[in-house]
Amino acid sequence: MTPDLMATLTCGAITRIGVCHAHSILVILRFRRYQARMSAHKHDDFANRLTTAANAKKALLERFRSRPGPDDPEVIARREERLAVAAAREIRMAEQRAARQAAAAREAAERAALAAEAEARAKAEAARLAEEAERAMGVEADKKARALALAAEQKALRDARYAARKARRR
């Protein structure tokens, strides 16, 4: 097939031949390209295939035999290097684990200290409120003062529980 006819067929400008004929020509061209690619394979007979397989096995065995043994200095050095890296990794992981545990213990101590401080402040506030109430009320209002003191103390305890709960959540 000539290049100009090929260009005519592939560009879609089918002028000299019909559509059906052009399609047939394109199918034939594709088949010839396929055949050209497939002919690159050797058509060996059985003996050649056996020889090729035996040579491949020999090459694989030779490659295996040429590898250094377990007592080779390079192999020993690589093994020792891997063991040193693994040991360093274990040490690093242990240090990180210890640091995390220390940080957690430090945070728990800080939370406990904050809760105790909040409770002490609440009790002091309750005592101050109770004293103020006592002074303000006098002897006649002793009953009311005790009730206020009790309410203030209960409020202080409630506030302390609340502060402790808040500290635990953090």
Residue ranges of domains in the chain:
42-169
SS (HEC) of the chain: CCHHHHHHHHHCCCCCCCHHHHHHHHHHHHHHHHHHHHCCCCCCCHHHHHHHHHHHHHHHHHHHHCCCCCCCHHHHHHHHHHHHHHHHHHHHHHHHHHHHHHHHHHHHHHHHHHHHHHHHHHHHHHHHHHHHHHHHHCCCCHHHHHHHHHHHHHHHHHHHHHHHHHHHHC
- Tens of pLDDT, residue by residue over 69-87, are 888 888 999 999 999 999 9
Q: Residue 146's pLDDT is what?
A: 79
Is pTM beyond 0.85? Reply is: no
Residues of the chain under the 70 pLDDT cut: 1-19, 38-44, 137-141
